[in-house]
Amino acid sequence: MLKASVIIAIRALFNRNMSIFTQCLNPLTGVASWEEKDQYYDYHQEVARSAFADMLHDHERNEKYYLALKTAIEKKHQAGEEANVLDIGTGTGLLSMMAARCGADTITACEAFKPIAKCAVQIIKENGFEDKIQLIHKRSTKMIVGKDGDMPKRANILVTEVFDTELIGEGALSTFRHAHEILLEENSIVIPHKGTVWAQVIESFKVCSWNRVKPIKNGEVLVDTPQTIQTCSGAAAVHDMQLSRLPRDTFVPLLPAQPIFKFDWSGKKPLLNNEKVSLLTQPIRSGTAHAIFMWWDLNMDTDNQLLLSCAPVWEHPNVPDNMKKDVSCLQKMVDLIPWRDHWMQAVYYLPEEISITYGTEVNLIGYHDEYSFWFKLLNGSIDEIPDCQRPECNCWAHIAYSRTRIGQLNDTIRNQRYVKALQKKITSNSVCLCVSDGCLLALVIARLGAKVFLLEQNFLSRRTMEMFVQVNELSDRIKIVESVNGLPEASEIDFIFGEPYFLSSIVPWENLRFWYLASKYPSNISRMPVMATIRAVAVEFKDLQKIRAPLGTCEGFDLSSFDKLIQQWHL
């Protein structure tokens, strides 16, 4: 699974070679510039920054794919058939080499991503399988079967890993459907065989604080939130999360975990792009439903003996039931399950919060299109499943700010400390320059009586802040400035404030841009904060380092060429 690149690339033709212009942001000034790079620069950087290696460090994943391949190939041979394997999205070629080790008669691997495909060719050669594995540099949906095609005949075993945290987000439905129509024989064995999506309704004020901006209070409401933001369902993108690391006292399950969607990858049942399912369920306790926790598992073989589960600890099949009920056993439970960054669990926010009463049945309704899931809750039974459009942000705030930023804006302790400090500095005569993106504390400063110049260079953030200013009736006290060229003169202000926070910052210290902007003013102008400390500590991780750890030998195969690719191009 390759994560989306943050690089914006524009291609231009120079001297008959394709070049790339990359946008480089100066974190000190916030100014973007363009640099010409090699034509594969962005691709290599994407590989280097991805968690691709973490997937290859996942021993349980590798082992169960291997056992499923071994079983499938043996079944074909026992039936007197050849074992002709197709590996879609081969990556480094690991699954294809496993098929070769298990005695497959022919192996065709396809990989569309050129830098990885080139690396896979090298890895396959170095492991001595170049005569056994044919690698096609194409998407599987572009492959041709027949004489002079990519495959002389259809395969009868398919192995593929085209899954993400949302299971179907990488196009699994269309990939499997096309494979059955064009690339596979009728009674082919597919690895994995089936997939199941699980859902659990929860109450959690912690979790919902990442989705909706709440008012800032200090005994009274200092900053109110526009109704359009409070009622917005939030960002459409899935919120992936390590649910096992979420403290157990921060959420309460209201409905039991249950399978809501089942996908038969074998081709025996149709794979539909659009489905809706309703589960009438008895709540396990009363509460307010804020969100849905989701995860999935895979049945790897046709006999359903090999289960690959992404469940969190309290629902994971590897954890004994007596441990699941004991909160003090959390660390022991975590140690019993595989750690994965490439497949996590997900949170889906409900369009509206629903009160659930113990003893009253609830309808959990799930929807999916070709790539995504979404959910709805209704109290009581229903005669017909209602249609429901996929939730999308219509308030701008969820487009402007990340969920992490929204959680920061909702941090009560943080806000109270800022308010306490500002109350000591701000008077009705104060004129403040606020240098931070999406800074609701600027409205607190205005509420305390000051006049505020608010620098908002990002269009989306500026539009959102205009909504807050209007709803809180502070237009006469806050002037929004769109660029540094429009900043007030030193004679016009007596206080400079910043959280500091900037949307362009990738790492925390890039927020030190606040001091760069503040340095344009005389030092005798009071400012907050007055200093920052960068702290560092050497740590040993149990699992997290696998995202970047070298592979070396993986499941008995030499994958060091992939390590060289990463080391060469890693930032």
Catalytic residue list contains 161: yes
Nearest to 23 by CA among 45, 38, 39, 6: 6
Is a pLDDT exceeding 60 seen at residue 158?
A: yes
Three-class secondary structure of residue 131 per DSSP:
coil
Asked if 282 and 361 count as a contact pair (C-beta separation under 8 A), the reply is yes
More confident: 302 or 352:
302
9: its two tokens: 């690339």
More confident: 38 or 340:
340
Q: Name the least confident of 151-155, 462-466, 506-510, 546-550.
A: 546-550
pLDDT at residue 6, as a whole number = 34
pLDDT at residue 7, as a whole number = 33
Average pLDDT for residues 373-401, to the nearest whole number? 91
pLDDT at residue 23, as a whole number = 55
pLDDT at residue 5, as a whole number = 36
Asked if 191 and 72 count as a contact pair (C-beta separation under 8 A), the reply is yes
Give the confidence band of 565 by pLDDT, cuts at 50, 70, 90.
confident
Is a pLDDT exceeding 90 seen at residue 402?
A: yes
Strands 216-217 and 275-281: unpaired
pLDDT at residue 258, as a whole number = 97
User: How high is the mean pLDDT of the chain?
Assistant: 89
Residues 22-64: tens digit of each pLDDT:
556 565 555 555 566 555 555 555 555 555 678 899 999 999 9
Residues 81 and 69: their CA atoms lie apart, in Å, by: 15
Burial class (CB within 10 angstroms; exposed 0-12, middle 13-18, buried 19+) of 138 = middle
pLDDT at residue 368, as a whole number = 96
Is a pLDDT exceeding 60 seen at residue 147?
A: yes
pLDDT at residue 15, as a whole number = 37
Give the number of C-alpha atoms closer than 13 A to the C-alpha of residue 297, restricted to the C-beta side: 22
Q: How many CB atoms lie within 10 A of CB 555?
A: 16
Active-site residue, from 46, 161, 166, 456: 161
Could you tell me the CA-to-CA distances from 329 to 139, 247, 448 in Å, in that order?
45, 12, 48
Could you tell me the CA-to-CA distances from 218 to 130, 412, 415 in Å, in that order?
69, 9, 9
Q: Name the least confident of 15-24, 308-317, 414-423, 449-458.
A: 15-24
Residues 353 and 349: their CA atoms lie apart, in Å, by: 9
Give the confidence band of 10 by pLDDT, cuts at 50, 70, 90.
very low
Which secondary structure element, helix H or strand E, spans residue 230, and what is its range? Answer: helix 227-230
Is a pLDDT exceeding 60 seen at residue 18?
A: no
Which secondary structure element, helix H or strand E, spans residue 369, and what is its range? Answer: none
Query: pTM of the full predicted structure?
Result: 0.89
Asked if 264 and 271 count as a contact pair (C-beta separation under 8 A), the reply is yes
Residues 252-295: tens digit of each pLDDT:
999 999 999 999 999 999 999 999 999 999 999 999 999 999 99
Residues 467-497: tens digit of each pLDDT:
999 999 999 999 999 999 999 999 999 999 9
Nearest to 405 by CA among 354, 351, 465, 449: 465
Residue type, 269: K
pLDDT at residue 500, as a whole number = 93
pLDDT at residue 8, as a whole number = 34
Asked if 439 and 517 count as a contact pair (C-beta separation under 8 A), the reply is no
Residue type, 210: W
Active-site residue, from 111, 166, 170, 456: 170
pLDDT at residue 169, as a whole number = 93
Q: Which domains does the chain have, with CATH numbers?
A: 9-50 (no CATH), 58-191+553-569 (3.40.50.150), 197-400 (2.70.160.11), 411-528 (3.40.50.150)
31: its two tokens: 């100014």
DSSP string, 132-195: TEEEE-S-GGG--BSTTSSBSS-EEEEEE----TTSSTTSHHHHHHHIIIIIEEEEEEEES-EE
Residues 175-234: tens digit of each pLDDT:
999 999 999 999 999 999 999 999 999 999 999 999 999 999 988 999 999 999 998 988
